[in-house]
Structure 1
Amino acid sequence: MGAAGDVDGGGSVRHALTSRGNIVTRRLGCVRAHRRWSAATGHTSGRRHGTAGRTPLLAPSEKSTGTGSSEFVVTFREGRGVPGWVERNKQSPVPGLWPYGLDLLSGAGLPVKSVEVPDLSGLGRRLAGAIGARRPRGGAGTTALAWDETSAVPMYSGIPAYHHFSGVIWATDAVAAGERSAALDLAARTLPRFDGLWVLSRPQAEKVQQWLGAGSPPVHFLRFGVDADFYAAAPYPDEPHVVSVGGDRDRDPATLFEALRLVLAARPGTRVTVQSGTDLPVPDGVTVVPRLPHVEVRDLLASATVTAIATRHNLHASGMTVGLESLSTGRPVVACATPGMDDYFGEDRARLVPPADPAAMADEILGLLGDPAGAAAMGEAGAAVVRERYTTGTMCADLASILTGR
């Protein structure tokens, strides 16, 4: 969530700011993003300082009918936007045209453009936290959205728009753990000014509302989705193969490795492949591979007969993405029953076990390995459910409803 350190929002810092300091702050978070927005949209505009309240959402009848000025600007962190995604696709195929498939908002009837916003520097975070985030002026009907809170603050400071929306993903666990940082503090000051927020796990919604307090914007549950065309359903393999992919901050390689050790003790010779960057000792019989391009992850998941995902307790449904990608290829999933995972992984297509319980995970993996027909049927059911409810297309349709109020 950024460099740790409390933000002094009191008079000592506030009185020390000069007009030059205000200009520096604006430039740190706004100027480059504003220029990129202007280049992407063809607009130029002045700026104004933060407003006392949010501009109401436009009614559906006031939105663009093809001749109006409504537009939706999707923001990504610097270096993680559409140009980099396109370049990666040239080197090795990636899912979707944009990260997270957000280009499909256009399929939901929204005129979308993309822009990258720079991260605020440490100085920028401190100054912005002391004086409050700046909201540049934009054309009526312009909506800016950020995938998560890490790009929401620079977006709000730097994108000229009247309406702002963002996802909240990582902050909920940091807040629940009692963490303090300049980035969290600045997000807590900025997000209440947005028109709406979304989360990818239902339990996150209550935590976000508690964090931001009374008067916070509506918090919506948005079902995540994957590119079901990229992760196409494949015939179920004959050779037993347990696969685990991923290494975000809430993965639990210790539990995973112990579960796999138990599986191999019961079924020696079973093929086991783990994609991870962990430095923990690897059990005998387990092959660990480094970070892989998307196309190789897809092929690895398609070679599995069961996918195992071990995670620590968290609120943002860690492991959800690779779990849905695995289901999309037609493979059953064994994952940890952390809050929100049951929104994605029902009993017809997955087995959820308590976190930090390697014996329970091993039992479910062994059960699926011992019943190939049943495992294949679960995978088939999972592939069908993904295509019905959890694609990037269905996610963008739901997101469009959040953005427009329809």
Structure 2
Amino acid sequence: MRDITVAFPLERDIEAWERAHAQGIVPSRWPYGLDELAASGSRRRVGLGELARPMRAWSLVRSSIPDRSTGRAVVTWDENAAARLPATRGISRHSGVIWLTDGAASSHDVRSRVRWLRQFESLWVLSSAQIAPLRDLVGRHGPRISSVAFGVDHEFFGLRSYPSRPLVLSVGGDRDRDVVTLYRAMADVKRSLPHAEIVVQTSSSLEPPEGIARVARVSHLELRELYARASVVTIATRPNLHVSGMTVSLEAMATGRPVVITGTPGMRDYVQQGVNGLIVSPGDADALARQTVALLRDESRGRELGMAGRVSVVASRTTADLCAGIRRAVDGPVE
């Protein structure tokens, strides 16, 4: 088992994150729970500078990144952080890949990142649907590729009692969220159930339909309380391979809330239709609204799916599970 160093971009300010975690403000001691990756008694991290300052970045990491010959490794969360990790002989480098498989393979940015990542020993993705496209990008003689299941802090996002007042919540603002479809669906929900409260957290500039509350940003604590108040968490995304919406769906499930979400490739790694959530086709606002309304009208079904979601997260989708998967990806096959 290798001793792992986790490398974060400097702007992440891990010290501030640790202080916030100690105060109960954010989940996990490090982002994504990556503190659980560090070897017992050797919990190390290093900071990565901007690409425009490669020498500064190197000065920050060269004394901390272990040599491969010692059985140690350095890990970055995604390809953006990986691009800041200097290449040098004797260093075992490993990284997650999130966005690359959804980019145009012919673009200059994708080509340059692929060339860089080919030098890594292993890569992992958070969606099984990304394995084949990433292998096509890096080539069959490229780094070892693994699929690792994402996980959330199931203690920070703990089980909460089911609400007495109906509220539909939608959260998230990454580039693959489908706000147009979401707003169409929520307008239908509001027409069907005028008494239901609907809250959408989004950075989109699109005006929401009448009767729908939009918030631009929420803290982790505010988000946790919104999950607790929600009867249903509904998420609409455009087709993508990186499973947009998986974080929100797992956090909601950990809280014991039913999820209605777009069924993009890889989503079934996290949400199983009719078991711990409901899945609809991309762009299908009618189905999104119909499934949401059905859960609002059938509270016992909502409770059932919410509890099943909680059980599935605790069983195999926690930050500990995530880190165990990353460690397996880093260590590689047993000789």
Q: What is the TM-score when the length of structure 1 is the normalising length?
A: 0.75
Match of 2:267 among 341, 354, 377: 341
The equivalent residue for 1:303 is 229
The equivalent residue for 2:284 is 357
The equivalent residue for 1:97 is 29
**Matched residue SS, 1:214:** coil
Amino acid at match of 2:95: S
Q: Which stretches in structure 1 are left out of the alignment for 5+ residues?
A: 1-62, 64-69, 125-135
**Matched residue SS, 2:85:** helix
- C-alpha separation in 2, matches of 1:268 and 1:393: 41
| Superposition pairs of residues 203-352 of structure 1, within 5 angstroms | 203-346=129-272, 347-352=274-279
1:60-84 deviation line (CA, Å, top 9, x unaligned): xxx5xxxxxx631101112115223
1:192, distance to aligned residue in structure 2 (A): 1.4
Conserved? CA contact 1:156–1:164, under 8 Å: no
- C-alpha separation in 2, matches of 1:381 and 1:366: 19
Distance 1:137 1:365, change over 3 A: closer
Instruction: Give me the CA root mean square deviation.
Output: 2.1
1:181, distance to aligned residue in structure 2 (A): 3.1
- C-alpha separation in 1, matches of 2:171 and 2:41: 34
Q: Which has the larger radius of gyration?
A: 1
- C-alpha separation in 1, matches of 2:221 and 2:168: 18
The equivalent residue for 1:169 is 98
1:142, distance to aligned residue in structure 2 (A): 2.5
Q: Which stretches in structure 2 are left out of the alignment for 5+ residues?
A: 55-64
1:268-327 deviation line (CA, Å, top 9, x unaligned): 121101111111121111011121111110110111000000101100000000100000
1:212-246 deviation line (CA, Å, top 9, x unaligned): 11311121000000000000000111111100011
Distance 1:264 1:218, change over 3 A: same
1:161, distance to aligned residue in structure 2 (A): 5.5
Conserved? CA contact 2:187–2:210, under 8 Å: yes
**Matched residue SS, 2:83:** helix
The equivalent residue for 1:144 is 74
1:139-179 deviation line (CA, Å, top 9, x unaligned): 63230111100011221437x8621111000111013xx45
Match of 1:80 among 3, 6, 12: 12
Extract structure 1 runs of 4+ deviating beyond 3 A: 87-92, 108-112, 136-139
**Matched residue SS, 1:155:** coil
| Superposition pairs of residues 109-124 of structure 1, within 5 angstroms | 111-121=42-52
**Matched residue SS, 2:252:** helix
The reply on whether 1:375 has 2:331 as its aligned counterpart is no
**Matched residue SS, 2:243:** coil
1:195, distance to aligned residue in structure 2 (A): 1.3
**Matched residue SS, 1:79:** helix
- C-alpha separation in 1, matches of 2:29 and 2:172: 22
Amino acid at match of 1:386: V
Amino acid at match of 2:198: V
**Matched residue SS, 1:365:** helix
1:87, distance to aligned residue in structure 2 (A): 4.5
Instruction: Provide the identity percentage.
Output: 37
**Matched residue SS, 1:157:** coil
1:111, distance to aligned residue in structure 2 (A): 3.8
Conserved? CA contact 2:123–2:146, under 8 Å: yes
- C-alpha separation in 2, matches of 1:368 and 1:282: 22
Conserved? CA contact 2:8–2:76, under 8 Å: yes
- C-alpha separation in 2, matches of 1:137 and 1:89: 27
1:109, distance to aligned residue in structure 2 (A): 5.2
